[in-house]
Amino acid sequence: MENTNFRGLADPRFFEPSHIDVIIGTEIYHRLLLDGFIELDSNLPILKETVFGWIVSGKCSNTISCHSAVTMVCSNADLEKQMMRFWEIESCHSNNILSVGEQQCEQYFAETTTRDANGRFVVSLPTKKTVLSKLGSSREISLRRFPSLERRLHANPELMKSYTDFIREYIELGHMTLIDPNADLLSSTIQPYHMPHHCVVRPESSTTKLRVVFDASCPTDTGVSLNDALMVGPVVQDDLYNIILRFRLSRYAIVADLEKMYRQILIHPTDRHLLRILWRNKPNDPVDTYELRTVTYGTASAPFLATRCLRQLAME
């Protein structure tokens, strides 16, 4: 018994295999559709709108004077650009082309980075040798700026406590050490660099409400700063857009925060004279000189060194 649900179909028994009655070419196929079309002329193709845009369908002559049926899609001129962008998004990664300076920085990292007995990375500062040789004296400039920091801290006892706790923790963790500037036995001809420092308070932060910022952009008496002499290095990680898109590729994703990420990485001892700061706990105490032993926030190369070590750890 014929199923009444299929009445009105061109082939009411379409679900059963059978022989082919007729093959219809595209030159007349769209004329059989009832939704309407635009017929240019009896001997010209027809136009029909689809979800992809207007299509042109009909016969055309080729070089050997025979007729063949064709269908052409007329789309907007930006389609190719849109498709290229689509595949760029779907690739979920970006291939950055490194500049000459970035290649040098990457090569320097590969040649100088080591790991100590505890597995901790030890990196050298990627410096521009010609600029570094012009580094002048910075201790007096740092000394002149230090009283301003003290006045701000003593005007706010809570801020003073937080800042002092930060410095104390820095020392207790071994991230900086007290040195005698008068007994400087450096074999390097490069002058030591003293970084002024200040704090940024972020009450809304759930983790670090006070961040101490080291000013490696402070010029020395020659007008050259440490950051002038440091290579910035390439951006190692993908941009946030691609990272978010990659979340689609796996069923599970892990998100974590690296505590004191920069300070997990040691600076090679031969470069630590470039990372000095001045500090004292009380206004009547002498001003002490400390050397920072880890990658320091505020230096131009710090983001590269930290993220490059993270990638190197994953590679190893």
Model confidence over 22-44: pLDDT tens digits? Answer: 887 777 776 677 676 787 777 78
Q: Is 84 helix (H, G, I), strand (E, B) or coil?
A: helix
Residue 65 is predicted with a pLDDT of 47
Residue 275 is predicted with a pLDDT of 97
In which residue ranges of the chain is pLDDT below 70? 1-9, 30-31, 34, 36, 51-52, 60-78, 88-96, 183-189, 206-208
Q: 156 to each of 46, 72, 160, how far by Cα in Å?
A: 82, 75, 6
CB atoms within 10 A of CB 70: 14
pTM tops 0.85, yes or no:
no
Closest CA to 238 of 161, 148, 311: 311
